[in-house]
C-alpha cells in the first residue's frame, strides 16, 4: 500500500495515548494493551545528535566499538528501553486505527517503532562488547516481539515487521560469532528463535486485509480520497494522467468492474503464495505484468494497476526473512555440536532447516575462522546470493 505520510505530532500521540488508556491511574500495571506502553516509549525517547546517529550506524555496521557517547545515548533512553521490553512481552497490541480512513489511514507507529529498535540494538552491542552475551541476545528477541506487534493488517506493516526481524537476526549472527561456547545460552537461544520464527507476520493476511479495504474504497464517491492517499506514486511510471482522468470520470459500472478485477487478482496472488518460491515468484511476476498490460486496454484494471504493489518483490523479501531465520537455526545447531564435542561438524546436522529459496539444504563450508551457510540459488529480484558468515570465538 502506498501512503504519503506515516508521521504524526507528539501532541497527537499524547491524545491517542489518553484515548487508548483512559482508565483509572490506580489500575494494575502494565495495562492490557501493549500499544499504550509503546506510545509512552515514543514520548520519552530522546533523539540522538547527528554525530551520535552516525556513530550508532557505524557501531551497527561493525566499524566502531561502543564508546562513552553511545553509552550516554543508551542511558538517556533507558526508560524508553524498559517500556519497550515490557510492551513486547504483552500478548495484545491494539494501535487504535480508524479503519474508516481506508487507504488514507496514517500509521505513525511504524516509523516510530523502527526508530525505537536502534537504541535497543546499540544497547545489545554494548552488552555483547562487555561479555553479557545472553542479555544482548535478549534485546534482539525484544525486537522480534515488537515485529509481531507491528502486525500484518496491511502490507506496509508487514514490510516493517520484516525489517525489524532482519535487523534483529543480523545482530544475532554477530553475537553468535563473538560469544564463547555456552551450551545453556545456545539452547535458550534456539528456543527463542524457534518461537520468533513461528510468530512472524503473514503476507497472505496483509493481502486479505487490503482486499477488504479496497472493496470498500473503490467507489465513485471515494475516488478523490483514494487518489490522494496514493500521493505522488500515481504520477510515476504506472498509471498515466489519462488513467487517472478515466478513474475520476468513472460511472458505477466502472467502479464495480474495478472492484471485481481487484478481487480476482488478489485471490490469484494469495493462491500463488502457497507455491514454492521459484514458482510463486514467476506467477506473481506474471500477474503484475498482466495487470500493467490490461490497464492499457481494459478500464476495469486501472485502479488495480494503481493499487497493487510489486508482490513478487515482497514475496522475495518474505522468503529472505524466513531463510535467514532458518540459517540461524542451522547455525545454532552447529554451535551446539561445537559446544558438546569441541569441534565443528563436517556436514550439516541431519534435519537442518532448509534454504527456502530452493527447498534444499544450505551449502555448508567450514572456514579458517568458523563456517558459512549460503543459499544454492540467487534471489530473483536483485540476483543476490544469501550468505551468512559465522565465526567461532577462541
Domain count, the chain: 3
- d(CA 186, CA 82) in angstroms, rounded, equals 24
Q: Which residues of 12-32 are buried (b: 16+ CB within 10 A; e: fewer)?
A: ebeebbeebbeeeeeeeeebe
Whether residues 35 and 86 share a domain: the answer is yes
Would 4 be classed as within a structural domain?
no
Q: State the residue range of the domain holding 281.
A: 206-309
- d(CA 283, CA 275) in angstroms, rounded, equals 9
Each residue's pLDDT tens digit in the chain (394 positions)? 444 444 445 445 544 554 455 444 445 667 889 999 999 999 999 999 999 999 999 998 889 999 999 999 999 999 999 999 999 999 999 998 887 787 777 788 899 999 999 999 999 999 999 999 999 999 999 999 999 999 998 899 999 999 999 999 999 999 999 999 999 999 999 999 999 999 999 999 999 999 999 999 999 999 998 888 876 555 444 457 788 889 999 999 999 999 999 999 999 999 999 999 999 999 999 999 999 999 999 999 999 999 999 999 999 999 999 999 999 999 999 999 999 999 999 999 999 999 999 999 999 999 999 999 999 887 667 667 789 999 998 7
Has this prediction a pTM greater than 0.75?
yes
DSSP 102: G
- d(CA 76, CA 235) in angstroms, rounded, equals 43
Q: How far apart are the first and last CA of the chain?
A: 48
- d(CA 339, CA 181) in angstroms, rounded, equals 5
Would 314 be classed as within a structural domain?
no
On whether the CB atoms of residues 258 and 302 are closer than 8 A, the answer is yes
Best CA proximity match to 373, nearest among 381, 358, 383: 358
The maximal CA–CA distance of the chain, rounded, in angstroms, is 73
Would 1 be classed as within a structural domain?
no
Whether residues 279 and 210 share a domain: the answer is yes
Whether residues 20 and 151 share a domain: the answer is yes
- d(CA 78, CA 85) in angstroms, rounded, equals 11
> Sheet holding 370-378: strands in order across?
363-366, 370-378, 385-391
DSSP H or E segment with residue 316: helix 311-341
Query: What's the angle, vertex CA 147, arms to CA 146 and CA 148, rounded to 5?
Result: 90
Whether residues 78 and 161 share a domain: the answer is yes
Amino acid at each position: 500500500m502506498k501512503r504519503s505520510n506515516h508521521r504524526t505530532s507528539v501532541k497527537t500521540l499524547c491524545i491517542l495515548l489518553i484515548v487508548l488508556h483512559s482508565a483509572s491511574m490506580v489500575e494494575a500495571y502494565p495495562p492490557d494493551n501493549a500499544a499504550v506502553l509503546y506510545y509512552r516509549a515514543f514520548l520519552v525517547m530522546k533523539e540522538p545528535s547527528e554525530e551520535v546517529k552516525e556513530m550508532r550506524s557505524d557501531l551497527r555496521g561493525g566499524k566502531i566499538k561502543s564508546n562513552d557517547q553511545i553509552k550516554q545515548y543508551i542511558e538517556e533512553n533507558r526508560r524508553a528501553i524498559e517500556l519497550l521490553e515490557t510492551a513486547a512481552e504483552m500478548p495484545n497490541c491494539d494501535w487504535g486505527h480508524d479503519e474508516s480512513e481506508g487507504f488514507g489511514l496514517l500509521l505513525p507507529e511504524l516509523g516510530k517503532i523502527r526508530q525505537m529498535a536502534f537504541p535497543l540494538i546499540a544497547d545489545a552491542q554494548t552488552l555483547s562488547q562487555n561479555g553479557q552475551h545472553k542479555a544482548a541476545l535478549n534485546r534482539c528477541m525484544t525486537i522480534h516481539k515488537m515485529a509481531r506487534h507491528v502486525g500484518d493488517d496491511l502490507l506496509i506493516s508487514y514490510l516493517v515487521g520484516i525489517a525489524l526481524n532482519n535487523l534483529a537476526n543480523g545482530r544475532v549472527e554477530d553475537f553468535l560469532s563473538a560469544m564463547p561456547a555456552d551450551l545453556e545460552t545456545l539452547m535458550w537461544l534456539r528456543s527463542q528463535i524457534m518461537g520468533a520464527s513461528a510468530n512472524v507476520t503473514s503476507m497472505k493476511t496483509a493481502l486479505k486485509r487490503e482486499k477488504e479495504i479496497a472493496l470498500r474504497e473503490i467507489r465513485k464517491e471515494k475516488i478523490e480520497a483514494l487518489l490522494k492517499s496514493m500521493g505522488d506514486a500515481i504520477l510515476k511510471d504506472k498509471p498515466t494522467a489519462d488513467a487517472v482522468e478515466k478513474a475520476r470520470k468513472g460511472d458505477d459500472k466502472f467502479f464495480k468492474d474495478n472492484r471485481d478485477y481487484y478481487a480476482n487478482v488478489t485471490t490469484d496472488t494469495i493462491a500463488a503464495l502457497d507455491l514454492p518460491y521459484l514458482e510463486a515468484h514467476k506467477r506473481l511476476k506474471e500477474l503484475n505484468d498482466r495487470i500493467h498490460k490490461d490497464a492499457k486496454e481494459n478500464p476495469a484494471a486501472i485502479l488495480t494497476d494503481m493499487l497493487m504493489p510489486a508482490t513478487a518483490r515482497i514475496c522475495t523479501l518474505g522468503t529472505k526473512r524466513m531463510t535467514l531465520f532458518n540459517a540461524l537455526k542451522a547455525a545454532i545447531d552447529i554451535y551446539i555440536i561445537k559446544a558438546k564435542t569441541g569441534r565443528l561438524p563436517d556436514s550439516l546436522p541431519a534435519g537442518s532447516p532448509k534454504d527456502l529459496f530452493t527447498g534444499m539444504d544450505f551449502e555448508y563450508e567450514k572456514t579458517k575462522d568458523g563456517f558459512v551457510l549460503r543459499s544454492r540459488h540467487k534471489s530473483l529480484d536483485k540476483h543476490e546470493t544469501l550468505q551468512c558468515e559465522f565465526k567461532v570465538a577462541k
